[in-house]
Amino acid sequence: MKIYKSIVDERILHDFSKIQGRSLMNHVANSYDIETAISFASLFCPEIIEVDDCIFISEFYNGNIMELRKLYKNTKDIEMFVNSWSLQSLVKECDVINSSGDYIEEFAKAIQYFWQLRVNSLFPSRDIVVEIGEEIMGEEGLTVTLYQKGQPK
């Protein structure tokens, strides 16, 4: 038997304040309803739009490509700006206080993994990077963004 580990470290479950299962999958099944599960699926596999050769998470795009072209010199910077998302903004204030940085980092790795799968499946011929870092494009704390590598204006 060969085991292929999850991208999330299963040991983190033991640090949870309210363990509701024997595994992370079991914890989710015991903690959330179907509407929440569907919402999480959308979070991990978001709607993507393409505007003027730019790739955006549609939730973050405001329809302002002309303004963005004036502010930023290249497609990469436009995409990084629009697609940058502070992961701390997702969690409730009490969750931030009660959780360690490990939780946010594990979540960031999962977002990165699934967003990368998503853009690779939609745009197999493009070199799209899903990056995690601190305060990318002025966002607070740990941030995720995506952009096309080496994309000209």
CB hemisphere CA count around 95 (13 angstroms): 12
Domain that holds residue 25: 9-44
119 shares a domain with 68: yes
Listed residue (87, 82, 78, 75) closest to 134, CA to CA? 87
**For 77, which DSSP code?**
H
Tokens for 124? 């197999």
Tokens for 80? 């990084």
Digit-coded pLDDT (tens) for 71-124: 998 999 999 999 999 988 876 544 554 455 678 888 899 999 999 999 999 999
56 shares a domain with 30: no
Predicted TM-score (pTM) of the model is 0.85
Name the amino acid, one letter, at 136.
I
75 shares a domain with 14: no
74 shares a domain with 38: no
Digit-coded pLDDT (tens) for 10-51: 888 778 778 887 888 888 888 878 888 888 889 999 999 999
57 shares a domain with 23: no
